[in-house]
Amino acid sequence: MAQFLREEEVVSADLIAIQEPWENPYQDSTHHPLKQTHELLYPAESETGGRARVCLFISKRLGEHTHLVHSRDCQEVRIKSERSELRIINVYNDQQHGAALRLLQETLPPTREQKGVSYLILGDFNLHHPAWGGDDAPRDARAEDLLDLMESVGLDNWLAPGSVTRDQAGSQSTIDLALASYMLREQLISCGVDHSVHADSDHLPILTLLEVNVPETAEAVKRRNWKAMDVEKFLTFVSSNLCMIRLPDRPNDIDNAVDHLLDIVQQAAQASTP
């Protein structure tokens, strides 16, 4: 995530949907270096009963939106557009239990009930089928359930069949999908795997471009006035919170300690700098 969220093209996106985000060991959150430009939408463990396996970064340019948490594996953001309400759902469908797929089956309305609402469903479905994986792809039993859901809800698969979205040591498959309501067809500009921003992951990023007009917030992105920092307050905050850190004794602990240090510095700046 750290490498991915440094890419200029990624940072310029209005919405960044991530599945299986990094878990901060010190607080119920994940890596968030985009505080100036994006709001992090991260399902709280207190709401879902487990650490979130999905998160969204939404640009502060988009202004008003509604965030709904359905489970640790499924979240939704609703954005008003000129034509309708766009509902974007971020999904991680566990291969063993398929809980997110069942949740979608229970909550998504059939096409005839979707008045003034369009859906864009993004996620890791962990399901194989020739309909999206190409002619040589295996057929998972639950994949037929997803196809039935797509037909009843009126969803297109926007990725070209056979697009490789996961490459694990040369084992390639298509399990990450972008599904959208039929009414969004005219607004689709492009959808495909974007190798230019691929970071250190066995899943490849998918770039989706939509022509959707939404009211942008008139307020410019605020920046901190570092000259007005209350230095004593900053130092007091940092010194009182760094004591929580564990001294690293393994390579992974070093990364966690650095991330914790950066989080504390960012929080200290928020508390001490207008």
Residues 123 and 234 in one domain: no
Using CA atoms, how far apart are residues 169 and 185, in angstroms rounded to an integer?
35
Residues of the domain holding 37: 4-210
Tokens encoding 157: 């698969």
The answer to whether residue 218 sits within a structural domain is: no
Residue 197 has pLDDT above 80, yes or no: yes
Of how many residues is the chain composed? 274
Residues 6 or more apart whose CB falls under 8 angstroms from that of 210 comprise 120, 184, 187, 188, 189
Residue 154 has pLDDT above 90, yes or no: yes
Residues 14 and 45 in one domain: yes
* Three-point CA angle 98, 42, 204, nearest 5°: 60
What SS3 state is found at 139? coil
Q: List the CATH number of the domain containing 111.
A: 3.60.10.10
* Total domains, the chain: 2
122 and 16 Cβ atoms separated by less than 8 Å:
no
Residues 111 and 48 in one domain: yes
| For the chain, percent of residues with pLDDT exceeding 90 | 70
What SS3 state is found at 97? coil
Using CA atoms, how far apart are residues 270 and 274, in angstroms rounded to an integer?
7
Residues 201 and 268 in one domain: no
| Least-confidence region, from 25-29, 171-175, 215-219 | 215-219
Residue 112 has pLDDT above 90, yes or no: no
Helix residue spans in 108-173 (DSSP H): 130-133, 141-153
The mean pLDDT of the chain is 91
Residue 137 has pLDDT above 60, yes or no: yes
The answer to whether residue 88 sits within a structural domain is: yes
Closest CA to 38 of 19, 61, 20: 61
Tokens encoding 243: 């004591």
Residues 80 and 157 in one domain: yes
Residues 204 and 239 in one domain: no
The answer to whether residue 100 sits within a structural domain is: yes
pLDDT band at 119 (very low <50, low <70, confident <90, very high): very high
Domain boundary among 210, 236, 260: 210
pLDDT at 9: 94
Closest CA to 77 of 91, 67, 86, 85: 67
Residues 206 and 241 in one domain: no
21 and 31 Cβ atoms separated by less than 8 Å:
yes
Residues 154 and 261 in one domain: no
Residues 182 and 263 in one domain: no
- pTM for this model (two decimals): 0.79
Residues 31 and 159 in one domain: yes
Residue 244 has pLDDT above 80, yes or no: no
pLDDT at 264: 85
Residues 40 and 160 in one domain: yes
42-80: pLDDT as tens digits: 999 999 999 999 999 999 998 789 999 999 999 999 999
Residues 194 and 244 in one domain: no
